[in-house]
Amino acid sequence: MPARTDAATMDDAAYLERLPSEEVIYFVLPDRFENGDTSNDTGGFEGGRLEHGFDPTHRGFFNGGDLAGLTSRLDYLEELGITAIWFAPIFQNKPVQGPPGDESAGYHGYWVTDFTRPDSHFGTPEEFATFVDAAHARGMKVYMDIITNHTADVIRFAEGDETGYAYRSQGDFPYSTRGGPDGAPINEGFMGPGDSSEKNFARLTDPTWAYTPVVPEAERDVKVPAWLNDPIYYHNRGDTTFTGESARLGDFVGLDDLFTEHPRVRAGMIDIFCDWITTTRVDGFRIDTARHVDPGFWHEFIPAMERCADQAGIPNFHMFGEVFAEEPTAGYIAEYTRRDQLPAVLDFAFASAMREVLGRGQGTFILNRLYDGDVLYEGGADAALNLPTFLGNHDLGRFSTLLKQDMPEISQDELLSRVMLGHAMMMSLRGSPTVYYGDEQGFVGDGNDQMARETLFPSLVDEYNDNDLIGTDATTAEENFDQTHPLYQLIARFSQIRLSHPALTRGHQMVRHYEQEPGLFAVSRVDEEGGQEVLAVFNTSGEERSVNMWVPYDARAFVAIEGDCPAAPTAPGSAAFTIPAFGWALCRVSERAE
């Protein structure tokens, strides 16, 4: 990977000084954003789509987006107010995998074979360096999506059928706890913090506990670095059930599960990702499938990455782990900031709470309960400021889609109003707001996963092109980089508001008002260093709502930032607010009592 240019390595670059909480993140799948170079569409692979993985008519194959396309659209992102770009894994992937008749491609980036270079469908190492430099030149940070839990599926099991593809059906290789010297399953707490007992490590490496790994001849050397080709560095225990010990030892839907307890694996992963930091000067990592990796790995990996970033002169290097749960709570995801010592986690609890209040008719007390949990994170409320918040993503589905699933009869106008309110709240409440690409263009998918991964450049996928988008008459068959779209304009406006008001980026949050039914929710954001306080009031109801709300006792006057704000309190410690249906108001305390 080529080192960055002198112009892009200035130690005094202002963007380096921003705290993680000050970023507005844009999460994008490079394959689905913009096709800037059609010559790399097949990635240099010969043959048909089952060899090279490119089929722009199919949602499960490469559609053509690349690094050149991302770089060409940085002005679009800058004007949206984006300050940090998080993209799905850029590493070289196995182009196609899956059983005959059900194949799909690694367009999403999570089937890595070579951790040391960009996927050839996306571009060259030089093009990656150009992208990072161009983003930094605009004051935008770059967050890489990294994987330490698994690689592409290369290892087969001798116990499988002769085609070697049975792994794709969950349960064909059920998780193995067989054999073992005493017939008991492996201790769930194996190799935990400070635990390097010979007994647990021996169990983990005992071949009688695992399937028999077989590597096809054609793929014996496909993984890079070369040590990744040795099956000894994988668990080989069959499919995870996502419960118990299998959550850390099992194959994630057939993907080769790395033996992250092994010193060689830990050292190897540290070398790989430290090299990306030092040679490209990226600004952070989103860590895929973090909950499926043993805590002991993180206790070594996280400090090593922090040292690499410090040595490279990259302050505020941000790392946040993916901790998915069907019903996420702050208590659950906070565990991983304490036991596993992850600096931050994606705020799945926020996404869940926002769906409850805007899609499922729950009262705004749900949000109060969410923020009560901020004390549970390692570092408490200060740490919670750095959590990337989001409404929907490439796995769950788009926020608009989730709301439509919850309210099948909702009108397009009301759906747009609820989605706009969701973004206004995300951009104002604590955390680092994360916009899922295409949401700013009103995309409404048919579901999750592949159904939520449309292209912004003209699509040839029929399942995308019949979608009814919100806020526009366009379809995904057209180019969708419309800077007049109401959601684009709302996000751009709120990004500028955040930039102008430190209380909204680094200010502590105090809940001022909530209700048992859909209605008003209000917080204060207080920048203790500068003394600025902003009141943020939202109405999740379809009707206008009014309230006399608790405000700072010494507040004497307010200035409207967004929406209608009272000029002054009605009495010390109380002010009257009226908020329209699905509306909001942001009000700065402009005068205080002496």
Please list the residues that pair with 559 across neighbouring strands.
Answer: 588
pLDDT of 488 reads: 99
Residue 390 near residue 346 (C-beta atoms within 8 A): yes
CA angle at residue 349 from 345 to 355, to 5 degrees? 135
- Residue 288 a catalytic site member: yes
Give the mean model confidence (pLDDT) for residues 367-384.
Answer: 98
Local confidence band at 181 (pLDDT 50, 70, 90 cut-offs) = very low
- pLDDT given for residue 482 in this prediction: 98
Domains of the chain: 6-149+262-498 (3.20.20.80), 150-257 (no CATH), 503-592 (2.60.40.1180)
Whether the CB-CB separation of 37 and 8 falls below 8 Å is answered with no
186 confidence band (pLDDT: 50, 70, 90) = very low
Place of tokens 């959590």: 387
Phi, psi of 362 (to 5 degrees): -80, 155
Concerning whether 103 is annotated as a catalytic residue, the answer is no
Active-site residue, selected from the candidate residues 55, 66, 322, 482 = 322
Q: What is the pLDDT of residue 13?
A: 85
23, 34, 37, 288: which one is catalytic?
A: 288
For the chain, the C-alpha Rg in angstroms (whole number) is 24
Which phi and psi (to 5°) does residue 402 adopt? -65, -40
**Helical H segments across 411-461, by residue range:** 412-428
- The tokens for 26 are 């844009």
Token pair, residue 260, equals 């992250």
Check: pTM over 0.85? Answer yes or no: yes
Range from 238-252, 380-394, 475-489, 506-520 carrying the lowest mean pLDDT = 238-252
CB 461 within 8 A of CB 63: yes
Strand partners, 412: none
DSSP-based three-state secondary structure for 29: coil
* Other beta carbons less than 10 A from residue 500's beta carbon: 11
Q: Kindly report, residue by residue over 129-143, the tens digit of the pLDDT.
A: 999 999 999 999 999
- 229-282 residue pLDDT tens: 999 999 999 999 999 899 999 999 889 999 999 999 999 999 999 999 999 999
Is pLDDT at 196 greater than 60 in this prediction? Answer: no
Greater confidence (541 vs 174) lies with 541
Cα–Cα distance measured from residue 273 to residue 305, given in angstroms and rounded to the nearest whole number: 8
The predicted model gives 496-509 an average pLDDT of: 97
The confidence score (pLDDT) of residue 99 equals 83
Count of CB atoms within 10 A of residue 544's CB?
A: 11
Asked if residues 247 and 260 have their Cβ atoms less than 8 Å apart, the reply is no
Identify residue 139 by its one-letter amino acid code: G
Give the residue among 293, 208, 211 at the shortest CA–CA distance from 252. Answer: 293
H/E element holding 432?
A: strand 432-436
Confidence grade of residue 198 (pLDDT, cut at 50, 70, 90) = low
CA distance 519 to 541: 5
What residue has token string 């709300």? 549
